[in-house]
Amino acid sequence: MIDFENERFHLRNDFFSYVIEISRGKYLFHRYWGKPLKEFRDSAPLQRIDRGFSGQLADFENERTFSLDVLPQEYPVRGRTDFRIPAYTVELENGTNISELNYASYKIFDGKPALKNLPASFGDGQTLEIELRDACGNFTVFLSYTIFADSPILARSARFVNTSGKKIKIRNAASAAIDFSDNDFEIINLYGGHAAERTIQRRKVSRGIFEISSTRGASSHQHSPFIALAGPTTDEFKGEVYAASLIYSGSFAIKVEAEQFGTTRLVIGLNPDVFSWTLEQGEEFQTPEVALNFSADGLNGLSQSFHKFYREHLMRGKFKDKVRPILVNNWEATYFDFNEEKIIALADCAKDLGLELLVLDDGWFGKRNDDNSSLGDWFVNAEKLPHGLNGLADEVHKRGLKFGLWVEPEMVNVDSELYRAHPDWILHVPNYKPSFSRHQLILDLSREDVRDYILNAMRKVFSSAQIDYIKWDMNRHMTEAFSAKLPTERQLETQHRYMLGLYEIMEKLTAEFPDILFESCSGGGGRFDAGILYYMPQTWTSDDTDAVCRLSIQTGTGLAFPIVSQGAHVSVTPNHQVGRVTPLQMRTFVAMAGTFGYELDITKMSDVEKSDVKTYVELYKEIRPTIQLGKFTRLLTGGNEYAWQFADDSRVVVMYFKILAQPAEPIRILRLAGLDADKLYTLKKYLPPKKLGVDGGPQKISFAEKSFYGDELMNFGLAAEKIETDFAAYMWVFEVQ
């Protein structure tokens, strides 16, 4: 899989080739990334051109055709004749941030090493480690590349070692940099905001620097740590696309520079605006890992390889390959206004409807009756739950349901016993009043004493009852990132140390409680990233539960993340976030495209609605393995129509959504994708939409189990019957013969 010949490293498998070249014995150049090559013989060698104002290093001062400013580098340096975005910046004790990395050695070994204190991919692979040394001996950088036989993903990271006798300070440390030979790309990224996460944005690369980033101490609702560079004609099913997804949950930066001579540089890693790291002699610093993905089969090919890679090489634990329970969460049903009787009534109704898990959300602890108090006080509110968590959990389990619980361990309220005892435990800047968000302050997870408190508090809660599921929330972003325990010169380490502390806590708790299904949350999707998936196999996708909004949110999320990782629930109408009224069938089908559940007061549903829910729940239990663990394909994306396909060896499920009805429109034909042309697919269920407000349960139209060969479904397609109603949702369920 990895060859070294003629001063070149050729990483290859059945999906891609990646070529690195050693030039002049010491410079590391990026030569190729794309479709797999039998052998790299350099059919398009680098051209030596005298470029004005592109400087030369001292060894090449009379060779004006050799300048780092115009050559494709593998891990570019700042200030040594290259004026483009650097991959790293190291400040030496004399104050300079100029350095030069030269090739020193390499080793190739089987397997995938873990990264110290960081989430990272794992599995059978082959790893190349290249050693680069600073020309003056101040530090060494080890670049790591792991290739897997079953995946187009290349896992990259960098490790810095202080080899000098003095302190050095890392000001910037990217996980990877890629130099492309042209700029004929379109950038695809995922932008948004709270309750509006991961909207797909596509724009042409233009001269200059494009950046998406977060300084919020979290990967954020606003920008996902993901980017793709696609050819201008690349679509869902054809064309080449290159992508990078950072396996990290904190502040990040992704920059794309299209420079003067028509080349493109991509740099991804920690955000240097809120990062610095001091290394004493002999100390190391490890960057987060980035998953680099190449697809020659369009955006669906890209998504499917990301999904497979994360499920097989990143997600861990007993639940990674298991279907997830159908839940009801009491948050939008009761908010803070609940007691034991209300929750037990929800459990009774959930049992009757065929649901499998009841989740008790915020408000069960301390004196928590609103969001002004009690975060940090992780003991039961006896007024609401007189029999404690154990008594409530027992009642829920008696009804044949699993029991889940909400926690927010990283936060504290001023009105709490914890804050009154330890006001110094928060992130805060001396002499300034702290900033608030949702009346919360952030505990300083860079401190060992704070981490110990959280660990012990959560251990006590998780052990106090039979808890089957934990929703781990984080409801504000980071301000005043100052730690009372760190010296002055290390304060810019606070954000990253916080994240390392969080990972330590999650690693210990998920290992100690392997029978708990953990779901992460950050005001919905504010920390939906590959780093969290390493510890928690699903994430609440968004606090926006409106079905129309969720079409865009879940489509964007699925560009990089598996369906089984996406929390999706049916909520009430009018919707609590946008006030929209949509049919139960549309809300249900959208929520089925994830870890399905309900987020409303099911006890207040009409008998007709409850009958519908029973039908939908029975259907979902049948098709759940295909949706959650099968191959996901986007058939239509965006605008007024969406269509999703889920397929495995035994079943194909197709969903089609039309937001607004339009006059004189043609009949929509859906051409399926990725089927076996020679196999028969038998239509077992077809559910067309109902008009808004029509009662009577889901409509079913029998096709007398007609069977169609895969080639017909892919080339001729399915017709969605015309219906004159807004918010239409269709479903077809085929069995594979």
Q: What is the pLDDT of residues 408-442, one digit of tens each?
A: 999 999 999 999 999 999 999 999 999 999 999 99
Tell me whether strands 718-720 and 538-540 are parallel, antiparallel or unpaired.
Answer: unpaired
Q: Would you state the pLDDT for residue 693?
A: 57
Which tokens sit at 192? 């948004």
The domain segmentation of the chain, as residue ranges, is 636-736
Backbone angles phi, psi at 602, to 5 degrees: -65, -20
Q: Which residues contact 329 (CB under 8 A, 6 or more apart)?
A: 359, 361, 404, 471, 569, 597, 598, 599
52: number of CA atoms within 13 Å, CB side? 0
CB atoms within 10 A of CB 397: 16
Q: Which residues contact 59 (CB under 8 A, 6 or more apart)?
A: none
Which tokens sit at 4? 């070294």
Sign of the C-alpha dihedral computed for residues 9, 13, 14 and 16 taken in this order: negative
Backbone angles phi, psi at 137, to 5 degrees: 75, 20
Sign of the C-alpha dihedral computed for residues 424, 429, 431 and 435 taken in this order: negative
Contact call for residues 11 and 5 (beta carbons, < 8 A): no
Q: What is the pLDDT of residues 499-523, one digit of tens each?
A: 999 999 999 999 999 999 999 999 9
CB atoms within 10 A of CB 126: 18
- Asked if residue 704 has pLDDT above 80, the reply is no
What's the chain's average pLDDT?
A: 95
E strand or H helix at 411, and its extent?
Answer: strand 411-412
Q: What is the pLDDT of residues 550-599, one digit of tens each?
A: 999 999 999 999 999 999 999 999 999 999 999 999 999 999 999 999 99
Q: Would you state the pLDDT for residue 346?
A: 98
* Maximum C-alpha span of the chain: 86
Q: What is the pLDDT of residues 518-535, one digit of tens each?
A: 999 999 999 999 999 999
Which tokens sit at 715? 């080339």
Band (186; pLDDT cuts 50, 70, 90)? very high
DSSP secondary structure of 428-496: --TTSPPP-BTTBEEB-TTSHHHHHHHHHHHHHHHHTTT--EEEE-------S---TTS-GGGGGGHHH
Gap between the Cα atoms of 70 and 80, Å rounded? 12
Among 22, 26, 2, CA closest to 12: 2
Helix (H), strand (E), coil (C) string for 287-323: CCEEEEEEECEHHHHHHHHHHHHHHHHCCCCCCCCCC
Backbone angles phi, psi at 203, to 5 degrees: -145, 155
Gap between the Cα atoms of 737 and 735, Å rounded? 6
Which tokens sit at 469? 């599921």
Gap between the Cα atoms of 358 and 597, Å rounded? 10
**Which one of the listed residues 444, 473, 546, 612 is annotated catalytic?**
473
Q: Would you state the pLDDT for residue 699?
A: 58
Q: Would you state the pLDDT for residue 695?
A: 52
Q: Which residues contact 172 (CB under 8 A, 6 or more apart)?
A: 78, 86, 87, 88, 89, 269, 270, 272, 275
Q: What residue spans of 314-403 are helical by DSSP H? A: 331-334, 340-353, 388-398
Q: Would you state the pLDDT for residue 696?
A: 54
Q: What is the pLDDT of residues 120-149, one digit of tens each?
A: 999 999 999 999 999 999 999 999 999 999
Q: Would you state the pLDDT for residue 731?
A: 96
Among 451, 427, 443, CA closest to 376: 443
Q: What is the pLDDT of residues 74-120, one digit of tens each?
A: 999 988 888 899 999 999 999 999 999 999 999 999 999 999 999 99
Look up residue 73 and give its DSSP letter.
B
Band (443; pLDDT cuts 50, 70, 90)? very high
Q: What residue spans of 521-677 are helical by DSSP H? A: 530-533, 547-558, 584-592, 607-629
Q: Which residue has the higher pLDDT, 371 or 692?
A: 371
574 preceded by a cis bond (ω within 30 of 0): yes
Gap between the Cα atoms of 699 and 20, Å rounded? 58
Q: Would you state the pLDDT for residue 700?
A: 56
Gap between the Cα atoms of 345 and 360, Å rounded? 13
Q: What is the pLDDT of residues 465-499, one digit of tens each?
A: 999 999 999 999 999 999 999 999 999 999 999 99
E strand or H helix at 510, and its extent?
Answer: helix 494-512
Look up residue 667 and give its DSSP letter.
P
**Which one of the listed residues 543, 546, 612, 726 is annotated catalytic?**
543
Q: What is the mean pLDDT of residues 11-29?
A: 96
Contact call for residues 143 and 158 (beta carbons, < 8 A): yes
Look up residue 177 and give its DSSP letter.
E
List the single range of 83-87, 197-201, 389-393, 636-640 with lowest mean pLDDT.
636-640
E strand or H helix at 143, and its extent?
Answer: strand 139-147
Contact call for residues 358 and 343 (beta carbons, < 8 A): yes
- Asked if residue 698 has pLDDT above 80, the reply is no
User: 187-206 burial, b for 16+ CB within 10 Å, e for fewer?
Assistant: bbbbbbebbbbbbbeeeebe
Q: What is the pLDDT of residues 324-383, one digit of tens each?
A: 999 999 999 999 999 999 999 999 999 999 999 999 999 999 999 999 999 999 999 999
Q: What is the mean pLDDT of residues 223-236?
A: 98
Gap between the Cα atoms of 10 and 1, Å rounded? 8
311: left (phi over 0), alpha (psi -120 to 50) or beta: alpha
Gap between the Cα atoms of 681 and 678, Å rounded? 10
Note if 612 is an active site residue: no
Q: What is the pLDDT of residues 239-255, one digit of tens each?
A: 999 999 999 999 999 99
Gap between the Cα atoms of 537 and 236, Å rounded? 26
User: 453-492 burial, b for 16+ CB within 10 Å, e for fewer?
Assistant: bbbebbeebbebbebbbbbbbbbbbbbbbbbeebeeebeb
Fold entry, domain 636-736? Immunoglobulin-like (2.60.40)
Gap between the Cα atoms of 305 and 294, Å rounded? 9
Q: Would you state the pLDDT for residue 692?
A: 57
Q: Would you state the pLDDT for residue 103?
A: 97
Which tokens sit at 724? 């004159």
Note if 543 is an active site residue: yes
Q: Would you state the pLDDT for residue 473?
A: 98
